[in-house]
Amino acid sequence: MLLEEYRALNGLLTFRLGAMDRRLPVAGGTLGAILGVTTAMPPDTKLAFLLGLPVALLWLMLSTVQHARSKEDHLRRIDEIERLVNRLAGEELLVFQSRHPNKRLTPAGRSGFATVLSLLSTCWMMLAACCALVSTPHGLLGLPGTIAYCGYAAGFAGMMLHAVIRLRHYRYRRPPADGRPLFEAYSQDRT
């Protein structure tokens, strides 16, 4: 059963890595294209897109951080299984995660955390571009509106940074076992 869980977790880990790696170019490129097109939009449409873009960037950031947290959980459980299998076997049979040089230093591993950091910098650049588009000499919002919009964008930038800081301090916590054998729990629940 442990080896089957190990295999399933490795499959999920591969899925998480792929999802994180595909997410950046696809979503970032789409949002970047929307940002680029706003220069040709009428003022009301431009404003609607510029108000919505920070929300979309935050969603992208939070969902990527969630994938990274799940990746961290998978890595730690794989490490636990390797150690348990090795202890049961009396020798080291599985060693990749339990001997990995990054072991527990970076949540979601080096690649997962680097993906989150690169997305954070991309999102911040896009928010800065949004502020630049609002503060054009033609004055889409005027000075008070520009200041308000830049504060709005800064709020989203802060929420993104907060999500990354929370990820940096995230640690996997194994759920407590209920102490009952699987088959006993199943048979008691059925009666």
Asked whether the predicted pLDDT for residue 156 surpasses 80, the reply is yes
Q: State the pLDDT confidence band at 159, using cuts at 50, 70 and 90.
A: very high
Q: Which residues contact 79 (CB under 8 A, 6 or more apart)?
A: 97, 98, 100, 103
Instruction: State how far the Cα of 97 lies from the Cα of 118, in Å rounded to an integer.
Output: 24
Largest Cα–Cα separation, the chain: 75
Q: What is the pLDDT of residues 83-118, one digit of tens each?
A: 888 888 888 887 777 666 565 566 667 777 888 888
Evaluate whether 67 touches 52 at the Cβ level (below 8 Å): no
Burial bucket for residue 11 (CB in 10 Å: 0-12, 13-18, 19+): exposed
Mean pLDDT (the chain, rounded): 82
Question: What per-residue confidence (pLDDT) applies to 4?
Answer: 87
**What radius of gyration do the chain's Cα atoms show?**
23
- Strand, helix or coil at 30? helix
pTM over cut 0.85 = no
Q: Show the tokens assigned to 35.
A: 């940002």
Q: What is the pLDDT of residues 125-150, one digit of tens each?
A: 999 999 988 887 666 778 888 899 99
Asked whether the predicted pLDDT for residue 63 surpasses 70, the reply is yes
Instruction: Give, to the nearest 10 degrees, the angle between helix 109-134 and helix 2-37.
Output: 20
145-31-29 Cα angle (round to 5): 145
Instruction: State how far the Cα of 166 lies from the Cα of 163, in Å rounded to an integer.
Output: 5
